[in-house]
């Protein structure tokens, strides 16, 4: 299994490198076509400048040509993408018979969620068009691979999760939660189903609260200052996706 895990990690870093470029070009209104270049000196980058993680380390986080500092987002996203791809493969092989279609499906969802988490973390913005597209993929996957009853349960979970966050947006008039979180919650519900999406939302609020308290005490955030919730919702998604059984078993043992 180890060689396969390494292959999935390397594949994930390559995809992460592409996602970095795609995010940068889309956010700045540039075409996805054409060669990558330095944002400062505009020098076209060679393939050796674009090797995931390794190029950043070798160049010490600076452009080869103008020596300006490169954002750490690039190696971080590449590394996280590699871990996500490797994790999808590992847990699918560990928990169930090998299902290539499901692995591809979860990798695609993971790539979308990584883009959402990155954009929301940096710009407090959720790319809803991308989330809608992923939700459509999840809808079709559920329709073709689940029976009618289970399909209906997943759709129900998506609408319940979206309605929950919609209620928060209405009650707080948009101050407690952004409308993009409604769409993201819909996607997560569509992928997880009802039971798991409850755990995902619960864990998102727990993790978010802990991080917010740490940031306030560290002086990085002020009390009541906005914090991107998308990354926490995505962390909760993965806790529910991979650790639903042990987490719920531990919870019920407490009571």
Separation of alpha carbons 124 and 115, rounded Å: 12
pLDDT digits (tens, 9 = 90+) for 108-157: 999 999 999 999 998 888 999 999 999 999 999 999 999 999 999 999 99
Q: Higher confidence at residue 75 or residue 216? A: 75
Nearest to 193 by CA among 140, 157, 149: 157
Query: Residue 126 gets which letter from DSSP?
Result: -
Backbone angles phi, psi at 69, to 5 degrees: -70, 135
Domain residue spans in the chain?
1-98, 126-255
Separation of alpha carbons 116 and 83, rounded Å: 17
pLDDT digits (tens, 9 = 90+) for 190-212: 999 999 999 999 999 999 989 88
- Give the model's pLDDT for residue 33: 67
What residues have CB less than 8 Å from 179, skipping those under 6 apart? 169
pLDDT digits (tens, 9 = 90+) for 164-193: 999 998 888 777 677 889 999 999 999 999
- Give the model's pLDDT for residue 29: 66
List the beta bridge partners of residue 44.
37
- Give the model's pLDDT for residue 233: 95
Query: Residue 124 gets which letter from DSSP?
Result: S
- Give the model's pLDDT for residue 31: 66
> Do residues 73 and 17 make contact, with C-beta atoms less than 8 angstroms apart?
no
Separation of alpha carbons 119 and 230, rounded Å: 9
Query: Residue 168 gets which letter from DSSP?
Result: H
Query: Is the entire prediction scored with pTM above 0.85?
Result: yes
Q: Higher confidence at residue 105 or residue 248? A: 105
CA triple 6-12-15, angle to 5 deg: 150
Instruction: Supply the DSSP string of 53-103, one letter for each residue.
Output: THHHHHTTTB-TTT-PBPPTHHHHHHHHHHHHHHHHHHHHHHHSS--HHHH
Structure tokens at 53: 């993680």
97 pLDDT above the threshold of 80: no
């Amino acid at each position: 299994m180890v060689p396969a895990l390494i292959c999935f990690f390397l594949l994930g870093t390559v995809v992460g490198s592409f996602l970095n470029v795609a995010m940068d070009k889309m956010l700045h209104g540039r075409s996805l076509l054409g060669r990558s270049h330095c944002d400062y000196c505009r020098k076209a980058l060679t393939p050796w400048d674009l090797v995931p993680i390794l190029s950043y380390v070798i160049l010490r986080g600076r452009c080869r040509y103008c020596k300006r500092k490169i954002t750490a987002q690039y190696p971080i996203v590449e590394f996280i993408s590699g871990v996500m791809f490797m994790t999808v493969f590992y847990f699918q092989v560990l928990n169930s018979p090998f299902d290539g279609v499901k692995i591809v499906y979860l990798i695609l969802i993971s790539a979308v969620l990584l883009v959402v988490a990155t954009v929301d973390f940096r710009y407090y913005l959720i790319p809803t068009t991308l989330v809608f597209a992923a939700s459509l993929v999840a809808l079709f996957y559920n329709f073709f691979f689940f029976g009618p009853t289970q399909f209906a349960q997943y759709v129900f979970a998506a609408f319940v999760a979206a309605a929950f966050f919609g209620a928060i947006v209405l009650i707080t008039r948009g101050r407690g939660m952004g409308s993009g979180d409604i769409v993201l919650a819909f996607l997560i519900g569509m992928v997880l189903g009802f039971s798991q999406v409850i755990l995902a939302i619960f864990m998102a609020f727990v993790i978010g609260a802990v991080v917010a308290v740490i940031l306030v005490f560290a002086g990085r955030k002020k009390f009541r200052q906005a914090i991107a919730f998308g990354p926490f919702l995505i962390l909760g998604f993965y806790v529910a996706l991979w650790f639903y059984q042990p987490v719920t078993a531990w919870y019920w043992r407490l009571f």
